Amino acid sequence: MRTIITLIALNLLAVQLYAQSTSIKPVESMLKQLEKIESISYNQISYDKNPFGNDTATIYREVTVFFDPNYKLPYADVSTTIKDKNYASRTVYADKKIYDFEKDGTYTTKDYKALRIGNADIFSDGELQKTVSKIQQTAPDKIKQLNDTTIDTQNYFYFFVNAFDSVINEQRAFIDMYFAVDKTTFLPKSYTIISKSNYAADNNTIELSMHSRSVFSDFNINSRKNYLLNFQIPPGYKPYEKKELLKKGTPAPEWTGKDMLESTYSSKSFAGKTLLLFMTDISCLGNQLSIGMMNNLTDKYQNKEVVVLSLFGSSKKELMQYTATNQINFPVIYDAQQIKEKYNAPGAPFFYIIDKNGYISYSVYGYTEERETTLGEELDKALSDKQ
């Protein structure tokens, strides 16, 4: 989703900007500039706060976009790097397909029609015009010009947009946007989105807070030929093959890891006990919804021969910040991505039950409102050996 927002940041700004009265001259100038674009490339640095913790990721992107006459995005090329996480990827939009190339030499492909932001298909015919028309009719005063802002010693026009404001589950939900416009080129210099909403499931309400700030530089407009017209998969890449979860009766892979207190944990040390492994990452909504459930299961089985452990792909630094604001009643193993991969659990959340003999008793992916009940039933089976 973050990559998608990157690609259309300028487009979204154009849509929102058009809603204000024509008295704001920088808005008119920016729209005129954007309307001339056939191709654009730029660099972007984004500072994205984790919606469920206090850590902020610094994301570097190199973006190239080729528009068609209807101002759609049929071709784009985005390289993304997150240095702190040793992450690098490339996303290409070409021939009505999206290609995601990962650092491990694998790639995935999906159709444009799967790409959506909210309820708006960015690649559908006339979507930008339709959005502009709606804003004109319903919210003509959405954009406010603020005092100039300074970025790298240079002054820029500065605007605010309350793009959405409502009450969801008896709590305020909103999307606020701030953006700076270059006084000479009338191109955007920065774009900040601040949002808050909540998600309710199984009497569990999760607050979703987003704060993302992007700074743009090194614009190059209408000077590149579309090198993606006959795009081919780069040499050395192979299709990503999704691996199935380990099945019941499979010997559980061995592993060793450390918790937040630097205590060492090993799969061998739990011989004779039943293990519930929670394999996850901190930035996932499913993870956030699962924390309370895992706390409940930890409390329920604390006096039985059951050990509940979490294995996070996140770093110790990230988890120090995360656990400071999220109550977790079970051990947290950090930097566990390699362990997760042994269990074919690359994302979040995954759940494994290991019986006292070291074999897989149960495995499942994802959060549902019934997951706590199901895991409890499967733990009872493992404890009674009636599997």
Provide the residue-wise pLDDT of the chain in tens; the chain has 387 residues. 334 334 344 444 443 333 334 346 776 677 677 677 788 888 999 999 888 877 888 999 998 888 766 555 568 899 999 977 778 999 998 888 899 999 999 999 988 754 433 323 333 333 333 443 354 456 657 778 899 999 999 999 998 877 788 988 788 899 888 888 899 998 889 888 898 888 776 667 778 888 989 899 999 988 889 999 999 999 999 999 989 999 999 999 999 999 999 999 999 999 899 999 999 998 888 899 999 999 999 999 988 889 999 999 999 998 998 999 899 999 999 999 999 999 999 889 999 999 999 999 999 999 998 999 999 999 999 998 754
* Non-local CB neighbours of 19 within 8 Å, separated by 6+ positions: 132, 135, 136, 139, 140, 142, 143
349 by Cβ neighbours in 10 Å (0-12 / 13-18 / 19+) ranks as buried
d(CA 113, CA 96): 8
First CA to last CA distance, the chain: 40
- Distance of alpha carbon 65 from alpha carbon 44, whole angstroms: 13
Identify the pLDDT of residue 70.
58
Per domain, the residue ranges of the chain are 2-239, 256-384
Beta bridge partners of 352: 277, 363
Q: Do 2-239 and 256-384 fold alike per CATH?
A: no
- Tell me what pLDDT residue 24 has: 62
For residue 113, count other CB atoms closer than 10 A to its CB.
Answer: 10
**Number of other CB atoms surrounding residue 219 within 10 Å:** 16
The two three-digit tokens of residue 68, written as one number: 């068609």
Quick check: 58 and 84 in contact, CB under 8 A? yes
The token duo for 175 is: 């999307």
pLDDT at 61: 92
Whether the CB-CB separation of 19 and 77 falls below 8 Å is answered with no
pLDDT of the residue at 276: 98
**Close Cβ partners of 167 (under 8 Å, ≥ 6 residues apart):** 173
pLDDT at 116: 38
pTM over 0.85: no
Measured at the CA of 285, the angle between CA 283 and CA 286, to 5 degrees, comes to: 115
Reported as half-sphere exposure (CB side, CA atoms, 13 A), residue 89 has a value of 16
| 2-239 classified as CATH 2.50.20.10 | yes
Quote the Cα angle for 29-31-36, to 5°.
100
256-384 classified as CATH 3.40.30.10: yes
